[in-house]
Amino acid sequence: MGGGVQEGLADQMKRDGIELPDNVATQPMLQANLLCYLDAFYELDTERDHGMVPGPIPWSSIVAYGERYRFDIEELVFFVRKLDDAHLSKVRNGSANGGTPGTGTTVQRPPRPD
């Protein structure tokens, strides 16, 4: 499979006697130099307003995170906004947890490949 998360997941599922779903086996690999933006998104996700409808991650939180960890602020805002827009789109369509609304299914963050 090319290593990384998919290979680790495949090994775990094989060990548990579970077939690896096609949508997992064919997912694209994230370049290692972009993992920091994914990590930032997961950390910053805790900063959003989780009212009846989750709001976007506040710009001020992204900037504070970027300053704290010495990111290029414009790049960080760009990547976090792209991830956040995709996440919020899934939430609005009822598929943020990988299932249908109301299933109670929880999808855990995949292990880092490094």
Encode pLDDT of 2-19 as tens digits.
445 556 777 888 888 888
Task: Assess whether 81 and 66 both reside in one domain.
Answer: yes
Task: Assess whether 62 and 85 both reside in one domain.
Answer: yes
Task: Assess whether 59 and 21 both reside in one domain.
Answer: no
Residue 36 has what pLDDT? 95
6, two tokens: 């998919």
What predicted TM-score, i.e. pTM, was given to this entire model? 0.63
Closest CA relative to residue 78, chosen from 29, 46, 41, 110: 41
Task: Assess whether 60 and 12 both reside in one domain.
Answer: no
Task: Assess whether 23 and 62 both reside in one domain.
Answer: no
Write out pLDDT tens, residues 55-88: 999 999 999 999 999 999 999 999 999 999 999 9
- Find the domain containing 19 and state its range: 1-30
Closest CA relative to residue 8, chosen from 108, 88, 78: 108
Give me the percent of the chain exceeding a pLDDT of 70.
79
Give residue 1's pLDDT band: very low, low, confident or very high (50, 70, 90). Answer: very low
Task: Assess whether 2 and 21 both reside in one domain.
Answer: yes
The answer to whether residue 17 sits within a structural domain is: yes
What integer is the mean pLDDT of 44-58? 89
Residue 104 has what pLDDT? 53
Q: Which residue has the tokens 């996440």?
A: 87
The answer to whether residue 112 sits within a structural domain is: no
Longest dimension (CA), the chain: 46
